[in-house]
Structure 1
C-alpha cells in the first residue's frame, strides 16, 4: 500500500477522533446543566455510554494502530484487534438503536401496541445484525495473521440489512406520527423530525459504505479500515448523544407552563402549573 494512502487513512481516522472530542467540549456546558443534575437513570446511562465509552473506544482504536498493534503482531495475535473493532462498532450501533426505540415509543405516548411493534422490529433487526457480525468475527478468526481479513459478503449484507431495516422502520413510524397521526406541530415534533432525518441519512450512508468495506479493505489495506471504523464510531457517538441532549434541553426549558393562580390553605394565592405535553413525549421523568 502506498505510504501516502496510509497517511490519508490515518488523517481521516485522527480527524474523526478530533471532531468527536471537539463536539464533546462544545456541548459540555449544556451537558453539565441538563444532564449532570437530578437522579441517575437509564436515559442518562445511555447518554454517558454513547458519549464517553464511545470516546474511550475511539482512543483505543487509535492506539491499536500503533504501539499496541506492533506488540500483537509480534505475538501473532492480530485477530484480537479486528475482533475488538467489530464488537465495539456493533455495540455503538446498538446504543443508538435503543435511543431511537425510546424516542419513537415516547412520540406515540408510550402506547403498549407501539411498544410491541417496536420490540418485534428491534428483535428482527438485532438478530440479523448479531448473526452477520458473528459471521464477520468467524471470518476474522479463520483468516488469522495481520493482514486485512477477507470478509464474507453475505455476513456484511446481513448486518447492513438489519441496521438498514431498523432505521427505515423507525424513520417511517416517526413520519407517520408527525404527518398522519394527528400530532400537532410543536418545537418537539420539529426537533424529532430534524434529528430523525439527520440520523437516518448518516446511518444510511455509513451502511452503504459498510457493504463495500470488504473491497475497500482489500485495495486500501488496514489504514482505511481503521478510518472507516473511526468515522463510524464518531457518527454514532455524536448522533446518539445529540438525540438525548437536544430532547433534554427542550424538556427542561419547557417543563412547567403557567396556567393561573389558585388559593392556598393559608388564604393566599400561588401560581399553579401543568406539565407541557412536549415533556410527556420525551419520557425524561426525574
Structure 2
C-alpha cells in the first residue's frame, strides 16, 4: 500500500514510518519545507510539503496514488481549524487512521474500546475529531502513555527526578496510568492500516494500569538518584508545565485493549514502562 503519514518527524510518527517501511509499504510523508531547502527525512524518497494549519496543502498531498492516510501529528489547538482540516481530509476519499489517545476517556477504572468519552481539558475537542473520522469510515487508534526510545512523558519524569534528587509524580498519590511502548504502538498502527475495520476504535495499551508511584521510583533509579517518591500537587506542577498538562499527568486510568488484541491479532512484546526505565532506552 501507499501510505501518506502526517507527523512523520514526531515521536510516534517516526516509529510508525519505520514500521510501515519494514512491512514493505510504500511511504510518503507530509512535512514543512526545511528552512535551508534541504529534505526533512532524507531516507524517504516521497517527501511532500505542506502545513497542518493550511488544509489546502494537506489535501493536495493526498494524490490518487495514496491508499491510506495516517494522521500521527499533534492537533494545532485551534478547534475550528482542526475540525475543518479533518473534514477536508476525509473528503479526499481516502481511508484515514487517526492516532488519538486514551485521555479522551477521562478518569476511568474500566475503560475499553466501547467506553463513552469524557475528555480532560488538554484533549477537550479530540472526541469530535474521532467522531468525524469514524463517521467517514476511518479508524481511531488510542495509545496509552507512550514510552520507549528514551522519549515521552517518562523522560520528563526522569528529568524531574534528576533535578530534584528523588522520584516525583503529579497527583495525590494513588494514581496509575495505561502504558504502551512506542514500537508496539507502531505495530498496532500498521495493523490498523492493513486490516482495521471501517469505523473501528483500537486501544494501544500493553499495560492497563501501572501505579505512577512505581513509575516515578523507576525514573529516579534510572536517573541515579534517591528512589523515594514525592507527590507533586497539580497546582505546583502547573507552574512548570501549565495546568492542562499537569491535570493530564495526574489522571488515573485503567484501560483495556483486549478487544483490539482479538480483532487485529496485536501482541505487544516490548518491555513494560518500569523495565524500560530501569534497563532500556532511558539508561543510555
For normalisation by structure 2, the TM-score amounts to 0.29
| Higher relative contact order structure (alpha carbons within 8 Å, sequence separation ≥ 6) | 1
Higher strand share: 2
Higher helix share: 1
Higher-Rg member (1/2): 1
For normalisation by structure 1, the TM-score amounts to 0.29
